[in-house]
Amino acid sequence: MKNISIKKNDVVTVEIIDLTYEAYGVCKVDGFTVFVESVLPGEICEIRIERIEKRYAFGKVLNLVKVSPSRVEIKDKVGTRIGTMPLQHMAYDAQLNFKRQLVLDCFNKAFPVDEKLILEAIGMDNPWEYRNKAQIPVRELKGVLETGFFKRNSHDLIPIENYHIQDVEIDKTIIAVRNILREFKIEAYDEQNHTGLIRHIIVRRGQVSGELMIILVTLGEVIPHEREIVERILIEVPKVVSIIQNINSRKTNVIMGHDQKVLLGADVYYDSLLGKNYGISSKSFYQVNTLQTERLYTKAIEFANISKEDVVIDAYCGIGTITLSASDYANHVYGVEIVEDAIDMAQSNAQLNNVENVSFEVGAAEDVMKMWVENGIKANVLIVDPPRKGLAHSFIEASVEVGADRIVYVSCNPITLAKDVREYAKHGYVIQKIQPVDMFPQTTHIETIVLLKKDMTQ
């Protein structure tokens, strides 16, 4: 190994040459890579070396010597410390360019493409206060129950009242619930000793309907003063339609447990998306940025170019939002999803909107896809929207058999997207366009839609 000349606490002047997908600026000190937060490519800054690992180090900015034209005033330095807004120092149009470049880099690593295929990222008019869901850890600090967020790469809670990227009604609701829990002297969860009661407060808001769902995640089963707390919440947060107690007794970073009780209303709140109404239950996935989801789905459906002759498969369908949005244009849409609860919602959402040309199946997409193929189901269009880990190899194999001539891949992770697209290319599918959509402003996350078409000449 090369001798490392830098030492902890060294102060050096560096030029930032790159920005990682985790929003760290990259610079070199004597050829050794150093990562720095809150800087931009092209900037020259004085940094102090804080931590040295085997192959890289972390530095902290002391002074900006040359400032990037893409730098903007930050909203709140806490947003960088907790990692909720690691790009807040970058102008929004520069964020969009950076994200397009991220997608291009992922493709270049796994499956090089012509840069022209990647369109400009679709951004938000107001890239703030967009999240319709918050999962807020609750801890005790200096004897007081606090809500906030963990410092990046730690479990130290920093109290926060304004999160800047969440719906303001959600921020208000968290404060109201926090105050009520304090009033009734309810204990916060103590992670080290695995004692106490309230682990998380989850708030979800239908941004069109205004309806709120509150989930109290608890370690134990009993919430002292439960009735009074529910009544107080109803007074302070009149738009709440559902309060759920979710019990998570395990030592785990997974937020929600299996068992739960409905404390108010039912396990559902409603929202609208592209003119259809959706019931959403506490354990169902729902895209966190409602406005951009409408743009995302509209683009995905435009790419799919669906007509009344087309049979469509929507794999990883959640509560059926893409399925029902596509149903207006299609002959029939089949949806598949692994969470039973989400499929129950999808069925009732079809009824709620009087949609009859859809059918839903619960199960792993890879298994159900095989079953559909065995049952002779043919589809012209395949839409997939998998979680971050992407598609199972067996899913890709089975889905090729279904005979779609168009595949629309909606992805929240460009790394797995590029690898999966490379697999489809081996089966004769050719990339037509790649459309990044910014669902998560101020963060490095990016949603991407890829249109693939079967090359009929092969």
What residue ranges bind ligand SAH (CB under 6 A)? 285-287, 316-318, 321-322, 336-339, 342, 364-365, 385-387
CA distance 236 to 29: 54
Q: What is the DSSP letter of 277?
A: E
Catalytic (active site) residue 106: no
Strand order in the sheet with 429-437: 358-362, 332-337, 311-315, 381-384, 406-411, 447-454, 429-437
State the minimum distance, in angstroms, from the CB of residue 268 to ligand SAH.
16
CA distance 204 to 360: 25
Give 61 or 362: the residue with its C-beta nearer to ligand SAH: 362
Region of 332 (left: φ > 0; alpha: ψ -120 to 50; beta: rest) is beta
- Catalytic residue, from 27, 45, 106, 412: name it: 412
Give 76 or 344: the residue with its C-beta nearer to ligand SAH: 344
| Triad 185, 253, 144: Cα angle to 5° | 20
Region of 143 (left: φ > 0; alpha: ψ -120 to 50; beta: rest) is left
Q: What is the β-pairing status of strands 332-337 and 311-315?
A: parallel
Closest C-alpha to 166, from 139, 124, 212, 205: 205
CA distance 84 to 61: 19
Neighbouring C-alpha atoms within 13 Å toward the C-beta of 136: 32
Q: Which helix (H) or strand (E) element contains residue 171?
A: helix 168-183
Residue 419 · residue 393 · CB < 8 Å: no
User: Which positions are catalytic?
Assistant: 412
